[in-house]
Structure 1
Amino acid sequence: MKSPIHQLHQFLLDRFTSSELRQFALFYWEGVSQKLPGESISHADLCMQLCTALQRLGLIDADLFALLERERPRFRPEIDQLRRHFQAADASTPAADTSQPLIAFVAANPIALPALRLAEEARDIEDKLRTTGARFRFQSTWCAGPDELLDALVETSPDILHFAGHGGRNGALLLQTAEGGAHPVAPAALAGLVAARPWKPRLVVLNCCYSAVLANALRPHVDAVIGMRDEVPDDVGRRFAVQLYRALAQRDSLATAFDTARAALRVYNLAADHLPQLTVRGAVDPQRYRLF
């Protein structure tokens, strides 16, 4: 079953246009409106970023559901069910346990580059993790630029840093500017940032094209990095990531999880199992290393 936040995402995706959601943010949630990117973002990613912002600001409340009912009265039974799911989740959710692994999902899709199904990737990863019964924390950041990447690394100190988006042929991460353009971050720059932090991610997953170069630059500073050797189709990266996290959450070793995710690509008839690359720091044994 989908988590309540993903059910809300699907409801907004199906029942509202991007223009309507931007108007709601402008009139009802000024703090949220300021965080939304430009018109270039896909409808799915806009819905996911809006849901994430509402959740972080504590705005998924009675006023939100009243607004949904007022704007879409035909769907009151669906909205009421959505409300009950959030209430049940709130009642059963304990205080955040910082001993649980934190996954920071950072996504960027500049305007001029092909649109990726990043919201679907985040949703599928989180939903698959929940089916395993694993205990974890999942935090997503959308339309990420330099500030958002710094926030993800410096403020949250994640155990797993997952980047989803585009990569340059030179190994650079392609983040977004405020206007939606591409902002390249060179491998040496990101490696320097990670090296400077006292708390480093245990695993970095670079689900973007040509990221093996960046993976090699990060290797001296983190226990393990997964990158892609070449251009990687969107469905390949997404399916690889989902299977990787499922295996990790079932307490498979890093090596077993990586090999399982690669082999799964063949099951999907995707001849791309040569693309993912696992790189580990010298003292790390991937056959014994576990993240959950």
Structure 2
Amino acid sequence: MSEKIKILLLAANPKDSRHLRLDEEIREIEDKLRKANYRDRFELISKQAVRVDDVRDELLHYAPQIVHFSGHGVGQPGLVLEDDRGNQALVDTEALARLFKSFSNTVECVLLNACYSEVQAAAIHRHIHYVIGMNQAIGDRAAIEFAKGFYATLGAGRSIRDAFEIGCASLDLKNIPESNKPQIKPEIEDENVSRKLILVPQPETQTQTEPIALLQSESQSAQPAPKKDSSPEKPESNRPSTINAQNSQGFINNASAPVTQHFGNQTTINTGGGDYAGRDLYKGDRSTRLDTVSLQTIADQLAQLAEQAENRGDDDLADDLRSIGSTLGAAMKAEQEGKQERRGAKLGEVRRSIEGLTKKYPELQDVMGMLQQM
């Protein structure tokens, strides 16, 4: 039997950032795959409180075909993971793209379920065929509903692009006005390099007649599946707990370690998280408060954008951005001196200046979005 399609779900919600319902998202994804037609073809591996080094280590250990990130995003500066103390740690966009370059032969799709993550999606797309990111701040509820639709479609044996489209349609079905926020790379499919989740019949030598789902390019569909990993088993102490779901209540709440659950011919890994709280998820989004990232982050981004504008010969924009950066510097100084009224006034000037430029320069929308969170 062919290897399962591994979905590596990496979640991070640092303690100094806005709370997200990441446990709810994980539970919903597990549920959709558990009920899927081809549930026995998927293995969901979820990791929470992910630190910077964990991204590299988990990619190396599991060699997944799909990588899903849930958490906060801040645009060009990067994605928000955790440091060793559980606080925010930014992962640089280009560093993330360079990492995925080393996994281009195994990773088929990356889904960044975080605000302003289209920036990272574009960078990673240089090496990974399918990458999904968000072009604006996205609400917690919208992010969860998109994920539900996406994985329900994959579990039905449909393509990654179909999963994207149905994920977006799922938001419209729930009257969540954010279906324009998820963006997929490439925007237009190239038939010559199209990779999709396709159904491949079992070889005639196998007794099982049910089709199996494989992530592969269409040109590779006739090739045999790769051999299973023959590496030695992990020590018993490091293995996830294993239970038979027929003898349990289904999902394990408040589990302190990953739990592998078997439902007939399928396996899911549950990290707990408790019952759904029933809160209004429209109230939060997956951007992080700028003041917890620091005003220095926005100042660095403005300086980078100014340098890029100067390099392409747009001296007027470069001068405007440096002037705005100077005003932001005054706001930072006022913050250090405890002069909140002056800080607020200077930030107001920065917002108005950026807002006036965004119509002509859409690349400034990330900056505007972060300023609006303050």
Which TM-score applies when normalising by structure 2? 0.50
Question: How far apart in 1 are the matches of 2:90 and 2:106?
Answer: 22
* Equivalent position to 2:107, from 173, 181, 201: 201
Residue in structure 1 matched with residue 163 of structure 2 by the alignment: 257
Say which SS state the counterpart of residue 150 (structure 1) adopts.
helix
Question: How far apart in 1 are the matches of 2:132 and 2:12?
Answer: 18
Residue 204 (structure 1) shift? 0.2
The one-letter code matched in structure 2 to 1:224 is: Y
1:173 aligns with 2:92: no
Alignment of 1:124-139 (within 5 A): 124-134=28-38, 135-139=41-45
Residue in structure 2 matched with residue 120 of structure 1 by the alignment: 24
Structure richer in strand, relative to its length = 2
Residue in structure 2 matched with residue 142 of structure 1 by the alignment: 48
Residue in structure 1 matched with residue 197 of structure 2 by the alignment: 290
How much identity, in percent, do the aligned residues show? 34
5+ long unaligned stretches in structure 2: 199-212, 214-374
Deviations 1:162-201 (A, max 9, x none): 0000011225110001211111111100110111236431
Question: How far apart in 2 are the matches of 1:117 and 1:261?
Answer: 18
The one-letter code matched in structure 2 to 1:162 is: H
Structure 1 runs (4+) deviating above 4 angstroms are 281-288
Residue 132 (structure 1) shift? 1.0
RMSD of equivalent CA atoms: 2.1
Distance verdict in 2 for CA 1:282–1:221, change over 3 Å: farther
Select the structure of larger CA radius of gyration. 2
Say which SS state the counterpart of residue 27 (structure 2) adopts.
helix
Aligned length: 196
Residue in structure 1 matched with residue 123 of structure 2 by the alignment: 217
Residue 282 (structure 1) shift? 8.6
Residue 281 (structure 1) shift? 9.1
Residue in structure 2 matched with residue 100 of structure 1 by the alignment: 4
Contact persistence 2:77–2:92 (CA under 8 A): yes
Contact persistence 1:171–1:210 (CA under 8 A): no
Contact persistence 2:104–2:128 (CA under 8 A): no
Contact persistence 1:222–1:281 (CA under 8 A): no
Question: How far apart in 2 are the matches of 1:138 and 1:105?
Answer: 7
Residue in structure 2 matched with residue 247 of structure 1 by the alignment: 153
* Equivalent position to 1:110, from 3, 7, 14: 14
Contact persistence 1:171–1:212 (CA under 8 A): no
The one-letter code matched in structure 2 to 1:130 is: R
Residue in structure 1 matched with residue 250 of structure 2 by the alignment: none
Residue 107 (structure 1) shift? 0.4
5+ long unaligned stretches in structure 1: 1-96
Residue in structure 2 matched with residue 280 of structure 1 by the alignment: 186
Which has the higher relative contact order, 1 or 2, with Cα contacts under 8 A spaced 6 or more apart?
2
Deviations 1:231-250 (A, max 9, x none): 01111001101110111111
Question: How far apart in 2 are the matches of 1:230 and 1:106?
Answer: 20
Contact persistence 1:223–1:281 (CA under 8 A): no
Question: How far apart in 2 are the matches of 1:244 and 1:125?
Answer: 9
Contact persistence 1:165–1:208 (CA under 8 A): yes
Question: How far apart in 2 are the matches of 1:181 and 1:129?
Answer: 31
The one-letter code matched in structure 2 to 1:261 is: G
Deviations 1:198-234 (A, max 9, x none): 6431000000000000000011211200100010111
Deviations 1:47-96 (A, max 9, x none): xxxxxxxxxxxxxxxxxxxxxxxxxxxxxxxxxxxxxxxxxxxxxxxxxx
Residue 259 (structure 1) shift? 1.1
Say which SS state the counterpart of residue 137 (structure 2) adopts.
coil
1:156 aligns with 2:62: yes
Contact persistence 1:223–1:284 (CA under 8 A): no
The one-letter code matched in structure 2 to 1:290 is: L
Which TM-score applies when normalising by structure 1? 0.63
Residue 283 (structure 1) shift? 7.5
Contact persistence 1:219–1:225 (CA under 8 A): yes
